[in-house]
Amino acid sequence: MNTHFKDAWYHLRHAGSHLGRGLREELQPAERKARELTGREQPPEPNRREKMRRNLRGVEHEAKRRSRDAMRDARKRMS
């Protein structure tokens, strides 16, 4: 009998977890709209991947700028 209760609690916790996720997902548009109307809308926090992409873009632009400057300096020296 005890194993039945353990199984029931497991399934109940699992169902509760899914219910919470489902409610958050379904209510997200309403929450966003309410935040917009009240002026409390905050931009989403960038996740780790987005931070890394932004950092890589910055490094890429810096590398391009440095290579252009180096080419410009080299051309000036050759002239």
CA pair distance 38, 43, nearest whole angstrom: 14
Q: What pLDDT, on a 0 to 100 scale, did the predictor assign at position 1?
A: 64
- CA torsion 46-49-55-60 (nearest 10°) is -140
CA pair distance 50, 45, nearest whole angstrom: 10
CA pair distance 64, 72, nearest whole angstrom: 12
Confidence (pTM) = 0.41
The predicted-structure confidence for 3-25, as pLDDT tens digits, reads as follows 888 889 999 999 999 999 999 99
Q: Which two tokens stand for residue 10?
A: 């497991």
Q: What pLDDT, on a 0 to 100 scale, did the predictor assign at position 32?
A: 86
The predicted-structure confidence for 60-71, as pLDDT tens digits, reads as follows 999 999 999 999
CB 46 within 8 A of CB 54: yes
Q: What pLDDT, on a 0 to 100 scale, did the predictor assign at position 38?
A: 87
Assess whether pLDDT exceeds 90 at residue 59. Answer: yes
Assess whether pLDDT exceeds 80 at residue 55. Answer: yes
